[in-house]
């Protein structure tokens, strides 16, 4: 199982703070092995998720480390999606 977290405005737009996904048993996710594949599959949920999870609009982390979409996922990982941080 992996835990998927959504932060900041992304959480509000998706109306979802977190998901737990069993990559090995959930037929929707059995072919998912990388973070990019997970993002793509989640984006298929509906038009809102597609818009919110566009690659250029978010940062991705696995186990609290920012990574790119090529990161291979394994059982027990914690995945986080969040909008780019801006400062002033």
For the stretch 57-81, pLDDT in tens is 799 999 999 999 999 999 999 999 9
How far, in Å, CA of 50 to CA of 35, rounded? 15
Question: What is the pLDDT confidence band of residue 87, given thresholds at 50, 70 and 90?
Answer: low
Cβ-based neighbours of 17, under 8 Å, separated by 6 or more: 5, 6, 11
Do the domain assignments include residue 58? yes
Do the domain assignments include residue 60? yes
**Model-level pTM?**
0.91
The total domain count for the chain is 1
- What CATH number does the domain containing 61 carry? 3.10.20
Question: What is the pLDDT confidence band of residue 85, given thresholds at 50, 70 and 90?
Answer: confident
Do the domain assignments include residue 57? yes
Do the domain assignments include residue 88? no
Do the domain assignments include residue 82? no
Do the domain assignments include residue 13? yes
Average pLDDT, the chain: 92
Check if the beta carbon of residue 75 is closer than 8 Å to that of residue 2: yes
């Amino acid at each position: 199982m992996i835990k998927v977290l959504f932060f900041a405005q992304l959480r509000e737009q998706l109306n979802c703070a977190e998901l737990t996904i069993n990559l090995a048993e959930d037929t929707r996710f059995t072919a998912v092995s990388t973070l990019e594949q997970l993002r793509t599959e989640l984006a298929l949920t509906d038009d809102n998720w597609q818009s919110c999870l566009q690659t250029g609009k978010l940062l991705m982390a696995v186990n609290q480390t920012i990574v790119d979409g090529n990161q291979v996922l394994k059982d027990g990982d914690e995945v986080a999606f969040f909008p780019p941080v801006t400062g002033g």
